[in-house]
Amino acid sequence: MVNVAVLGYGTVGSGVVEVLEGNRDLIAARVGKDIHVKYILDLRDFPGDPFADRVVHDVNVILEDPEISVVCEVMGGVGAAYQFTKSALEKGKSVCTSNKELVALHGAELLAIAKAHQCNYLFEASVGGGIPLIRPFVRSLTAERILSIVGILNGTTNYILTRMEEEGAKLRDVLAQAQELGYAERDPEADVEGHDACRKISILSNLMTGHYIDAEEVPTKGIMEISAKDFIFAEEAGYTIRLLGISRLEKDDRLSVLVAPHLVSVGSPLAAVKDVFNGVLITGNMVGDTMYYGRGAGKLPTASAVVSDVIDAVLTGTESVPGGWDETKVEIMPIEETESRFFLRVNKDDIRKVLDAFPGGEAVLSDEVVNQAGFMTPVLKTGDFNRTVEALGEAVLGKMRVLN
C-alpha cells in the first residue's frame, strides 16, 4: 500500500480524493498496490464528510510520518505551499502539484531539491488541467528540437472569446455572464489580464529550454481591449480571436515569449478550441505540428492529472522523471524585435493614411460597421509597427497580433 497526503481540501483536493476513490481498483491494478489517502491537510474541519477522519491541521503530522511517500500540494499560493513542498521533498517525499504559480516561480529550486533527495516534483496539472501535456512533452517529443509552443492556456478567457465570436456579444456582457455561471472569478484579473496564461507559457518555456524564464519578464497583454467590432473584421478576413501564450525559437536561437490576443485563421486547429477548453500546439523540427486538447481546468480533470502524477511518482520511485529546468535565467528576446503580422481597427476616413503607412497591407471592410475599417499589415518588427501606430495617432482604434 502507498500512503499519500493531500494538502488543501478545496476543489482540486476533494477532486483528488474522488478520483483516487472512484477509480481505486483500476489504479491499484496499474500501480500494483493500493493508493490510500492517509491525511488531508486543511485549516477547516469537514464534519459529515466521509473523509473527515483523515483531516489534520498540522503539516508536521504529514512531514514526520515515514509512511507518507507522496504528497499532493493542491492548496495554491507561494507561501505555505512553498514551505510545505520544500520540506516534503527534503524528506524524500515526492510532491505532485496543480500550483502553477509555485511551479513558475520556484520550479527550478524544487526540482533540484527533489533530485537531491531521490524523489520527484511533478506538475502535470499545472498547465492545461486534465490535458496530458507535461508528460507527452518530456516523455514523447524527446527526439525533437521544439521550435515553438502556441497555446490557448486559459479556459475563462477562451469561454469569453468564444461567446463573443458566436453571439457578437460585448466583452463586458459576456464577462458578467461568465461570472454568474462560475466560469469566471469574482475578481477576474488573473484570467482576463493574461497572468494565468503567462505562468503556464513560462512553465512550458522552462521545459522547452531546460532553463528558467522569469514570468515577470514575459510581455503579457489580456483581452479587455477586444471589441465586438474586432470580431466582425476578423471574421470578414477569415479569422477568429484567441488569447495565446507563445514561446518560439527565433533566429540566433533566441527565445521569444509573450501572451497576447491574436487573430487566428479559422482553418487553424486552434480556432476549433472553443469554450472552456484549452489547446496547445507544439511544433518540433522533425514531427511538425502536434496539438493537445481538453479541459484546461475544473475539479476532476485537474485532479485526474494530479493523480496521474501520483501514479508516476509511485512507479518511478527514487529515479528522476525526465525533464525539468535549472536556475540559469533565459534572456527573452525584446518584444520590439519579434516579427508578426498585425491587425488594426481604424477610422474609415483614415484608411488611406493607414494604407500609406503600412505598404503591402490590406484593408478589411464590413457592411456591419460603417465608420470603421479593419486592416492587416504585412510581417513587421513589433518595434516598427508600434512606432507607425503611434504616428497614426487617433486613426487607430484597436490593434492585435496575427498568428502566422
Q: How far is the CB of 399 from its own copies (least distance, A)?
A: 27
Q: How far is the CB of 90 from its own copies (least distance, A)?
A: 25
Q: Are 147 and 121 in contact (CB under 8 A)?
A: no
Residue 142 sits in the site that holds its own copies (CB under 8 A) = yes
Give 143 or 181: the residue with its C-beta nearer to its own copies: 143
Q: Which stretch binds its own copies (CB under 8 A): 26-34, 44-52, 188-196, 333-341?
A: 26-34
Sign of the torsion formed by the C-alpha atoms of 232, 238, 244 and 249:
negative
Residues 6+ apart with CB under 8 A from 258: 218, 219, 220, 221, 245, 246, 335, 338
| Cα separations in angstroms, 11 against 126, 158, 197 | 14, 21, 20
Alpha carbon dihedral 182, 184, 187, 189, in 10-degree steps, equals 170
Three cell numbers at 225?
481591449
Contact flags string 84-123 toward its own copies, x per CB under 8 A: ----------------------------------------
Q: How far is the CB of 184 from its own copies (least distance, A)?
A: 20
Q: Which stretch binds its own copies (CB under 8 A): 68-76, 138-146, 213-221, 343-351?
A: 138-146
Residue 286 sits in the site that holds its own copies (CB under 8 A) = yes
Q: H/E/C letters for each residue in 89-158?
A: HHCCCEEEECCHHHHHHHHHHHHHHHHHCCCCEECHHHCCCCCCCHHHHHHHHHHCCEEEEEEECCHHHH
Among 23, 87, 227, 265, binds its own copies (CB under 8 A): 23
R_g (Cα) of the chain, nearest Å: 23
Residue 149 sits in the site that holds its own copies (CB under 8 A) = no
The amino acid sitting at 25 is D
Angstrom distance (rounded) from CA 169 to CA 397? 18
Which of the following is catalytic: 200, 229, 299, 399?
200
Among 163, 295, 345, 399, binds its own copies (CB under 8 A): 295
Size of the site for its own copies (CB under 8 A): 52
Residue 140 sits in the site that holds its own copies (CB under 8 A) = yes
Angstrom distance (rounded) from CA 39 to CA 19? 16
200 given a catalytic annotation? yes
Three cell numbers at 383?
518595434
Give 238 or 360: the residue with its C-beta nearer to its own copies: 238
Contact flags string 300-339 toward its own copies, x per CB under 8 A: xx-xxx-xx-xxx--x------x-----------------
Q: What share of the chain is helix, strand, coil (3-state, %, to 5)?
A: 45, 25, 30
Q: Which residues bind its own copies (CB under 8 A)?
A: 18-20, 22-23, 26-27, 30, 124, 130-132, 135-136, 139-145, 267, 269, 271-274, 277, 284-295, 300-301, 303-305, 307-308, 310-312, 315, 322
Catalytic residues: 200
